[in-house]
Structure 1
Amino acid sequence: MSETAPRTTAPGHRPHRRSRRLALTGALATLLGACLVNGVLPAEAAETPLSRSGKATASSSERGDLSPSAAIDGRNDTRWSSAFSDPQWLQVDLGASASIKKIVLNWEHAHATAFTIQTSAGDGRWRTVHTTTAGRGGVQTLNVSATGRYVRLNATERSSRYGVSLWEFEVHGTGGGTGGGTGGGTATPGLSATPTRPAPTATPTRPAPTATPTRPVPTRTPTTPTGDLPKGPVPPGAVRVAEFVAECPYTHRLPDDPIVVPGLPGGSHMHSFFGNTTTDADSDITSLLKGGTTCNPKTDLSSYWVPTLYNGDKPVEPTGTTFYYLGEGVRDELMARTRPLPLGLRIVAGNARATKPDASSNARWSCLHAGHVGSSKDFVECPSGTMLESYLDFPHCWNGTDLDSADHKSHMAYPVNGACPASHPVIVPKLRQVLRYPVSGDPARFRLASGPGYTMHGDFFNAWPEAEMERRVRDCIRPIVKCGADGTP
Structure 2
Amino acid sequence: MLYARPRPLRAAAFTLILLGSILTTTAAPVAAVPAALADTNISQGRTATASSTENGGTPASAAVDGNTGTRWASAFADPQWLQVDLAAAATISRVVLTWEGAYARAFTVQTSANGSSWTTVHTTTAGTGGVQTLTVSGSGRYVRVYGTQRATQWGYSLWEFQVFGSYTGTPPPTTPPPSGPIVRVSEFLADCPFSHRLPDDPIVFPNLPGASHMHSFFGSRVTDAYTELADLQVGASNCNPSVDTSSYWVPTFYVDNVPVEPTITTFYYLGEGVRDDIVAQTQPLPLGLRIVAGNAKATGPNESIARWSCLHHNEAGASKDFLTCPAGSMIESYLDFPQCWNGRDLDSADHKSHMAYPVNAACPSTHPVAVPKLRQVLRYPANGNPARFRLASGAGYTMHGDFFNAWPEAEMLRRVQNCIRPVIKCGANGYP
Q: Shorter-normalised TM-score: what interval?
A: 0.5 to 0.7
Q: Indicate the SS of the match to 1:251.
A: strand
Preserved CA contact (<8 Å) 2:53 2:59? no
Amino acid at match of 1:259: I
Asked if 1:318 is matched to 2:262, the reply is: yes
Q: Any idea what the Cα deviations from partners look like across 1:70-122, whole Å, max 9, x if unmatched?
A: xxxxxxxxxxxxxxxxxxxxxxxxxxxxxxxxxxxxxxxxxxxxxxxxxxxxx
Match of 1:456 among 376, 399, 403: 399
Preserved CA contact (<8 Å) 1:257 1:268? yes
Q: Indicate the SS of the match to 1:369.
A: coil
Cα distance in 2 between the residues matched to 1:394 and 1:423: 17
Please show how residues 330-479 of structure 1 align to structure 2 within 5 Å: 330-358=274-302, 360-371=303-314, 373-479=316-422
TM-aligned CA distance change 1:372 to 1:290, over 3 Å = farther
Asked if 1:240 is matched to 2:184, the reply is: yes
Q: Indicate the SS of the match to 1:337.
A: coil
Amino acid at match of 1:223: T
Instruction: Give how far 1:221 is off.
Output: 4.1
Cα distance in 1 between the residues matched to 2:177 and 2:295: 38
Q: Which residue of structure 1 lines up, in the alignment, with residue 10 of structure 2?
A: none
Cα distance in 2 between the residues matched to 1:382 and 1:232: 44
Instruction: Give how far 1:249 is off.
Output: 0.1
Q: May I ask how many residue pairs the two structures share in their alignment?
A: 269
TM-aligned CA distance change 1:228 to 1:284, over 3 Å = closer
Q: Any idea what the Cα deviations from partners look like across 1:321-366, whole Å, max 9, x if unmatched?
A: 00000001101121111000000000000000000011x4111000
Q: What is the TM-score with the length of structure 1 in the denominator?
A: 0.54
Query: Higher mean Cα deviation, 278-287 or 232-241?
Result: 232-241
Q: Indicate the SS of the match to 1:475.
A: helix
Cα distance in 2 between the residues matched to 1:328 and 1:297: 22
Instruction: Give how far 1:232 is off.
Output: 2.8
Please show how residues 259-270 of structure 1 align to structure 2 within 5 Å: 259-270=203-214
Instruction: Give how far 1:237 is off.
Output: 3.9
Which consecutive residues of structure 2, in runs of 5 or more, have no partner in the other structure? 1-49, 65-173
Instruction: Give how far 1:228 is off.
Output: 8.2
Q: Which residue of structure 1 lines up, in the alignment, with residue 113 of structure 2?
A: none
Preserved CA contact (<8 Å) 2:53 2:60? no
- Alignment RMSD: 1.5
Amino acid at match of 1:388: I
Instruction: Give how far 1:374 is off.
Output: 2.5
Q: Any idea what the Cα deviations from partners look like across 1:445-475, whole Å, max 9, x if unmatched?
A: 0000000000000000000000000000000
- Which structure has the larger Rg over C-alpha atoms? 1
Instruction: Give how far 1:260 is off.
Output: 0.2
Instruction: Give how far 1:227 is off.
Output: 4.9
Instruction: Give how far 1:288 is off.
Output: 0.7
Q: What is the TM-score with the length of structure 2 in the denominator?
A: 0.61
Instruction: Give how far 1:372 is off.
Output: 6.2
Preserved CA contact (<8 Å) 1:233 1:479? no
Q: Which has the higher strand share?
A: 2
Q: Which residue of structure 2 lines up, in the alignment, with residue 166 of structure 1?
A: none
Q: Which residue of structure 2 lines up, in the alignment, with residue 192 of structure 1?
A: none
Match of 1:223 among 53, 62, 71: 53
Cα distance in 1 between the residues matched to 2:51 and 2:60: 20
Preserved CA contact (<8 Å) 1:234 1:481? no
Q: Indicate the SS of the match to 2:301.
A: coil
Preserved CA contact (<8 Å) 1:234 1:479? no
TM-aligned CA distance change 1:315 to 1:286, over 3 Å = same
Which consecutive residues of structure 1, in runs of 5 or more, have no partner in the other structure? 1-219
Amino acid at match of 1:402: D
Amino acid at match of 1:350: G
Cα distance in 2 between the residues matched to 1:432 and 1:372: 22
